[in-house]
Amino acid sequence: MKTVLSGIRSTGHLHLGNYFGALRNFVQLQHQAKCYFFVADLHSLTTHPKPDDYLSGVKTILSEYLASGLDPEKSTLYVQSSVPQVCELYVLLNMLTYKGELERTASFKDKVRLNPDNVNAGLLTYPVLMAADILIHRANWVPVGKDQEQHLEITRMLARRFNKLYGAEVFPEPEAYNFGGHLVRIPGLDGSGKMGKSENNGIYLVDDQKTITKKVMRAVTDTGPVNPNDPMSPGVANLFTLLGVVSEPEVVAYFREQYDKCTIRYGDLKKQLAADICKHTLPIKERIEEIYNNGPYLKYVIEKGTEEARTSARATMELVRDAVGFKTF
């Protein structure tokens, strides 16, 4: 049986990118694989959030996981910082990772560009902590969006390096996974690159119908196609990408044809897009608040998951410590 693992940082609410990039794959995979899904609270510390906001942040993400269909009886749900073996493995993997390799990662370069005053070592070694998250359960598949592809390459490199250096087959080489066959990048509604928590361009699982419709209707487009052979403007291309993810193929084909004939009305496309997004998210939204307010249930889910995650992590660390040569007197 395959082992599957993924995580989402504990900042803000989950958006369509998190859902279609990572979470939805899990909801399907949990029936056929051993699944671990965690709240990446340690990764969130790179931006120094306030301690008072911590618990509500973790509860928010956990409630949104559960409302999306993660079943705690099938999947193991836990908070990253409550499995200390992750940090132990992180230290060991740091010894195998070179500064130049980390400085070259696209995510690090982006973060440095966006926050030049907070280039801390945690940011530099972010992919090593991520590798520790994955390797601690010896995962085979990691459902993530396209933005995490390079981090998976680093994880594979570290798995190979560890196995080779210590002459032991401790870690499998994990693959990034999307059940559609290719990793997705959900675009923002502002005509720019990806939808993101810090980009303020997202649609969230907690948004109501009115909010979603308003956001979609305001999305960036252009004055309309003149020659279908001209390249599509980025805003319109983004709307088609979103439509491809949330709508039926016939709906996408219909609007594509209208576009090619230069008769498309972007208002109609947006109305359809908003309605199709709502079909996916509104049933989830309905469950979020109820779960968030059910303290005993959240406590049960997290205690059960923590125990399972620690058991698996302890077993891996026994192999790791043995391979590294840590022996007791």
Q: Does 186 bind ligand TYM (CB under 6 A)?
A: yes
Q: List the x/- string, 8-37, binding to ligand TYM by CB under 6 A.
A: xx-------xx--xx---------------
Judged by CB under 6 A, which of 185, 271, 280, 321 binds ligand TYM? 185
Q: Does 142 bind ligand TYM (CB under 6 A)?
A: yes
Q: Does 144 bind ligand TYM (CB under 6 A)?
A: yes
Judged by CB under 6 A, which of 57, 72, 145, 191 binds ligand TYM? 145
Q: Does 133 bind ligand TYM (CB under 6 A)?
A: yes
CA distance 69 to 83: 24
Q: List the x/- string, 34-63, binding to ligand TYM by CB under 6 A.
A: ------x--x--------------------
> Closest Cα partner for 81 from 295, 325, 306, 316?
306
Judged by CB under 6 A, which of 24, 137, 156, 194 binds ligand TYM? 194
**CB nearer to ligand TYM: pick between 40 and 320:** 40
CA distance 281 to 288: 11
Q: Does 7 bind ligand TYM (CB under 6 A)?
A: yes
> Do residues 2 and 141 make contact, with C-beta atoms less than 8 angstroms apart?
yes
Judged by CB under 6 A, which of 3, 57, 124, 147 binds ligand TYM? 147
Q: Reply yes or no on whether 111 is catalytic.
A: yes
Min dist. Cβ of residue 291 to ligand TYM (A):
19
Min dist. Cβ of residue 229 to ligand TYM (A):
28
Length reported for the chain: 329
Element (H, E) at 50: none
Q: Does 205 bind ligand TYM (CB under 6 A)?
A: no
Q: Reply yes or no on whether 2 is catalytic.
A: no
CA distance 145 to 195: 11
Per-position DSSP letters for 221-271, written without gaps between them? --S--S-TTSPPPHHHHHHHHHHHHHS-HHHHHHHHHHHHTT---HHHHHH
**CB nearer to ligand TYM: pick between 96 and 189:** 189
Per-position DSSP letters for 72-116, written without gaps between them? TTTEEEEEGGG-THHHHHHHHHHTT--HHHHHT-HHHHHHHHH-T
Min dist. Cβ of residue 184 to ligand TYM (A):
5
**Size of interface with ligand TYM, in residues (CB under 6 A):** 25
Judged by CB under 6 A, which of 6, 30, 125, 140 binds ligand TYM? 6
Q: What is the phi-psi region of residue 274: left when phi exceeds 0, alpha when psi lies from -120 to 50, beta otherwise?
A: alpha
Residue 142 dihedral angles phi and psi, to the nearest 5°: -130, 100
Kindly name the residue from 34, 59, 194, 215 that is annotated as catalytic.
194
Number of Cβ within a 10 Å radius of residue 75: 25
Kindly name the residue from 111, 215, 270, 285 that is annotated as catalytic.
111
At 311, list the tokens: 């058991």
Number of Cβ within a 10 Å radius of residue 310: 15
Q: Does 196 bind ligand TYM (CB under 6 A)?
A: yes
Q: Does 156 bind ligand TYM (CB under 6 A)?
A: no
> Do residues 212 and 59 make contact, with C-beta atoms less than 8 angstroms apart?
no
CA distance 22 to 37: 10
Rule CB under 6 A: which residues touch ligand TYM? 5-9, 17-18, 21-22, 40, 43, 130, 133-134, 142, 144-145, 147-148, 184-186, 194-196
Residues designated as active site: 111, 194, 197
